[in-house]
Chain A
Amino acid sequence: MKNPLSIIGSVILAALSELGRLSVFSATAISHMVRPPLYWRLIAQQMWFIGYNSLPVVGLTALFTGAALAQQIFIGGSRFNAESVVPGVVVIAIVRELGPVLGGLMVAGRVSSAMAAELGTMRVTEQIDALVTLSTDPFKYLITPRLIAAVITLPLLILVANTLGVLGGYIIGTERLDLNGTTYLQVTIDFMKAADVYSSLVKAAVFGFFIALMGSYHGYNSRGGAQGVGKATTNAVVSAFIAILISNLVITVIVFGGAS
């Protein structure tokens, strides 16, 4: 039987080795993002795929989450006769946390998996090798457009998600909870600070980077045929989720750690 310490050591070494490979991959990808030439047509295609095609799922998630949140805050607030906090809490919760995080997770589920599956299939069918033999850098052609598109598109997508999240709260607040519409909007605007919006957009850009990075990394390095592509797809989604949750906490602590 294997020594438990040896098993723990092997797991840690494997994790560190994977982290090292991911770091090298990230550094290479970032270096290509700032060096011409850039394939603008491919960047536009990816922006369409990541942004426009994700609008329905992200929009619906934000709209219904905002609505449910307003209902819950109203129920909780009514215990202390504080129903009027609904607009303020909804906007802060949506813009600071739920909009970017839920939006990021929904896009990760949709986009990271698709990227990993596409690049993984290209790897196992030798299309990536073919790119090399055609004097084309696969990083430049495949990875960089995805990263740039995701970093640009996610903030725009989250801006829409935040708006729809607040709208969901407004609809429930005014149509079901008998809150005054004008007051609701005024309180929403009063409560929302510039830092809330900036942090939301920064989070979205960082999440976009991780979504494209994980999809690309796992797809690009997939091995072993159909099973390998399936594994890459799962790993891409799981690691993108983890990266989003950890980076969200880090940004939240940095931006709001000292604020009230």
Chain B
Amino acid sequence: MSNSPMIQLTDVKKGFPPKQILNGVDLSVEKGQSLVIIGGSGSGKSVTLKCVLGLMQPDSGSIRVNGKETTNQSGRGRKKMLRSFGMLFQGGALFDSIPVWENVAFGLIHGNGHNKSDAKEIAIEKLRRVGLSPDVASLSPSELSGGMQKRVGLARAIAAEPEIIFFDEPTTGLDPIMADVINDLIVECVQDLGATTLTITHDMASARKIADHIAMLYEGKIIWHGPKGDIDQSGNAYVEQFINGSAEGPIEMALFKP
């Protein structure tokens, strides 16, 4: 069990008729590894992530987390698995009916059974870890800037010190400087925790900073997967076009095909 990958997807398929989104995704993330999935809009990145998190049920295939099959998991097994996850959502997904500290402490209180005062202390510590002062703790999420909301989202993702952290487009909607700050924070926090991470993004600067390994998803399949350092010599026309952000290439051809 200990030698099995932390996350393993085998021939995962998912469709929303008439469209097939995932067309047999095979992917594995080793323990402690940081894998970034890149790909254009509509390539199936978000659906892949939602299938791993159990927010969507794949039509077929296998998803194993820490060696255990998760596709048909329910009840306590699923709850236990979710406790080992942290997730930073693209838009933050902070609960606007509760203050910032309660957002950060939410998983500790409702998932892990911490009492409120202990959870608040941990939340303030995690906020400090992502560069936010304790004053922010009592604010409402709607009073925060986009960058601050991302930081709070990151603090919430790491609050319960999970084994696996998922990042959904962590730098989308941020200016380049704030994006770099968030990338640095992600790297630091992940290293502190020794967590395994799976990130989806189309921001190559973010991917290069966060990743150990990069995989490219195109038309519902992984078309390239390798160490970050190898991506510039991938020899794959799709990957080269994507990382160079070129309008010319096979991806454009695919977009305009009848």
Contacts and interface: CB of A to CB of B under 8 A. Distances in A.
Interface of A: 122, 125-127, 129-130, 132-136, 141
A130 B95 contact: yes
A133 B85 contact: yes
Chain A interface SS verdict (over half): helix
B89 A135 contact: no
B90 A135 contact: no
A226 to B, nearest CB: 14
Contact of A135 (B94, B96, B107, B156): B107
Interface in B9-58: 50, 53-55
Nearest to B78: A135
Contacts of A122: 95
Interface in B43-79: 50, 53-55, 79
29 contacts: A122-B95, A125-B91, A125-B93, A126-B89, A126-B90, A127-B94, A129-B53, A129-B89, A130-B93, A130-B95, A132-B53, A132-B55, A132-B82, A133-B55, A133-B85, A133-B86, A133-B166, A134-B106, A134-B107, A134-B111, A134-B156, A135-B79, A135-B83, A135-B107, A135-B110, A135-B111, A136-B106, A136-B107, A141-B110
* 3 A-B pairs closest in CB distance: A135-B111, A130-B93, A134-B107
B91 A126 contact: yes
A125 B142 CA distance: 13
Nearest to B112: A135
Chain B interface SS verdict (over half): mixed
Interface residues of B, number: 24
B93 A132 contact: no
Nearest to A130: B93
B14 to A, nearest CB: 16
Nearest to B53: A133
B87 interface: yes
B55 A136 contact: no
B110 A126 contact: no
Interface in B202-244: none
Contact of B110 (A127, A129, A136): A136
Which of A125, A126, A130 has its CB near the most chain B CB atoms (within 10 A)? A130
Given A133-B166, A135-B111, 19 more contacts: A122-B95, A125-B93, A126-B90, A126-B93, A127-B95, A129-B50, A129-B55, A130-B87, A130-B93, A130-B95, A132-B55, A133-B55, A133-B82, A133-B86, A134-B82, A134-B110, A134-B111, A135-B112, A136-B111
